[in-house]
Amino acid sequence: MYRSVGSPSQDIHEHWHYVSFGLSDLYGDNRVHEFTGADGPSGFGFELTFRLKREVGETAPPTWPAELMQGLARYVFQSENTFCSGDHVSWHSPLDNSESRIQHMLLTEDPQMQPIQTPFGTVGFLQIVGVCTEELQAAQQWNGQGILELMRGVRVAGGPWLITDMRRGETIFDIDPLLQQERVDQGIETEGSNLSGVSAKCVWDDLSRPPEDEEDSRSICIGSQPRRLSDKDTEQIRETLRKGLEFNSKAALPPINSQKQSLERPQSRKDSLESESSAAIVPHELVRTRQLESVHLKFNQESGTLLPLCLRGRLLHGRHFTYKSINGDTAITFVSTGVEGAFATEEHPFAAHGPWLQILLTEEFVEQMLGDLQELNTREETKMPKEYSWPEKKLKISVLPDSVFDNPLQ
């Protein structure tokens, strides 16, 4: 924890600067991290930082940011999922346990601390930036870097160094409603969203036939014991989510590799997912791909509100979007007709590979769904459950209360 005087010439006010210690490799002897050589990442390849506005009369830094960073570090160590610039963290609680509107986080490069080379590998510095719910939602619908750039231009929202002010009562959209929202809408329209997937509370059900076949590999009913994703499927889904951080000219799902692990990445590390990520997945034998006639998708409210983002920000731009269940190995990937490498086709728009379901939606159907799902765009709490059905397309979607997923046997 450090006291920073800021930069008066840049109108950057005084603040507390926190830097983590231990996500990178401090020893190089495999005690904590696997040593992969000086040319690779040191440990997880990054440390976390945080800048908190110093209140008048404060003589010592508050300790809650250290506890917050510890919580994020614990998640990284336990899941072996890493963070990268542009990621968002849905926290759903004031970061300092107060009544603050700052209840979520975005991650970006620290403005002062540049990546360094150490004897045990390279280390970058990712800064945590506290944001309001509306700013998180805008980052999800567009991209984290775009929202952070808007915040850099608003002093009270962080300024050039993105200093978090827990007493901030206005979002960037409250401060400059027309300009900020116009830039976000324009960004979504021209660029789409670079959020390619989220961990979520979701399941899917094959309505084509009753679940009597023991060889049926779908994931399926809430409360049932799902099959495990194969390591090849896991790798492809992981690559699918990671690719959302890159601006590729042509959308494509990564191929299912014949090898279990890429030789270019350490076996003990997982690629960064876009936001909260699932725990380690136990592999099993490769199962066959099946074409389904009719499916029923079930999401909790938070996941359901991202459906318009999935359709508008991803599929209308020729991309894909994946929901990965936090309660098992279920995965649901929506793909557009322009995505290569998908096993769902226009002829067979519903296809399952074990508990991984792919759904191909045509542009015309996406536009229809956006109209039908318009109420999910509202930020107000909506009454659950919500049912949406397109009988001619043999698709049904339910948005259900969290309790259905948290207590499946009730």
Average of per-residue pLDDT values in the chain = 83
More confident residue, 379 or 59: 59
Q: Residue 166 gets which letter from DSSP?
A: T
The reply to whether the predicted model has a pTM over 0.95 is: no
Per-residue model confidence (pLDDT) at position 279: 32
Q: What are phi and psi of 16, to 5 degrees?
A: -95, 135
Amino acid at 89: V
Give the best-scoring range by mean pLDDT among 29-33, 84-88, 130-134, 277-281.
Answer: 130-134
Query: Which residues lie closer than 8 Å to 76 by C-beta, 6 or more apart?
Result: 23, 44, 82, 83
Does pLDDT of 382 surpass 90? no
Per-residue model confidence (pLDDT) at position 141: 84
d(CA 331, CA 359): 11
At 333 the three-state DSSP class reads: strand
Per-residue model confidence (pLDDT) at position 268: 36
Amino acid at 98: S
Query: What average pLDDT does range 103-132 have in this prediction?
Result: 97
Residue 11's CB is within 10 A of a number of other CB atoms, namely 10
More confident residue, 377 or 64: 64
- Which of 93-102, 111-120, 217-226 is predicted with the least confidence, judged by mean pLDDT? 217-226
8 A C-beta contact, residue 151 and residue 99: no
Q: What percent of the chain has pLDDT over 70?
A: 79
Question: Kind and range of the H or E element at 230?
Answer: none
Query: What average pLDDT does range 322-351 have in this prediction?
Result: 92
Does pLDDT of 57 surpass 90? yes
Query: What average pLDDT does range 242-247 have in this prediction?
Result: 43
Does pLDDT of 347 surpass 50? yes
pLDDT in tens, 282-308: 333 446 889 999 999 999 998 999 999
8 A C-beta contact, residue 115 and residue 124: yes
Query: What average pLDDT does range 185-194 have in this prediction?
Result: 88
Question: Where does the pLDDT of residue 235 fall: very low under 50, low under 70, confident under 90, or very high at 90 and above?
Answer: low
Does pLDDT of 274 surpass 50? no
Measuring CA to CA, which residue among 328, 330, 329, 271 is closest to residue 81?
271
Handedness of CA 29, 32, 34, 35 (dihedral sign): negative
Per-residue model confidence (pLDDT) at position 140: 86
Question: Kind and range of the H or E element at 340?
Answer: none
Per-residue model confidence (pLDDT) at position 231: 66
Does pLDDT of 114 surpass 90? yes
Per-residue model confidence (pLDDT) at position 199: 86
Question: Where does the pLDDT of residue 340 fall: very low under 50, low under 70, confident under 90, or very high at 90 and above?
Answer: confident
More confident residue, 328 or 136: 136
Question: Kind and range of the H or E element at 24?
Answer: none
Residue 278's CB is within 10 A of a number of other CB atoms, namely 23
Query: What average pLDDT does range 43-55 have in this prediction?
Result: 97
Question: Kind and range of the H or E element at 203?
Answer: strand 202-206
More confident residue, 244 or 77: 77
